[in-house]
Amino acid sequence: MELNQTRIKITPDMIKNFKTVECDCGGKVFHTGIVFKKVSALLSPTGREELYPIEVIICDKCGKVPSEFNNDGMLPDEIIAKKSTIIK
């Protein structure tokens, strides 16, 4: 059974109305980085400790990973951006 799907062509006018992704700190410009996790020798297919790379998105303003991009919870808390709870 074939599904007949029509793709919508996204235009610049449409993009202007899309929500801009924003870090918890308010930053809107990002770059990519890599976090490495160590896989124990017991779980590794080679029987040796190995490194497992995870590509992450990093906020240029605060240098942390926006919480929106840590949905799976694999990243350590110290690199995750948190909304400020300080009331001025």
Looking at the 3D structure of the chain, how many domains does it have?
1
Q: Domain of 67?
A: 12-79
Q: How far apart are CA 81 and CA 59, in angstroms?
A: 9
Is 51 part of a structural domain of the chain? yes
Is 24 part of a structural domain of the chain? yes
Tokens in use for 65?
């990973």
Which of the four pLDDT bands, split at 50, 70 and 90, describes residue 11?
A: very high
Q: According to the model, what pLDDT value does residue 7 have?
A: 86
Q: Read off the pTM.
A: 0.72
Query: Which 8-state DSSP code applies to residue 21?
Result: P
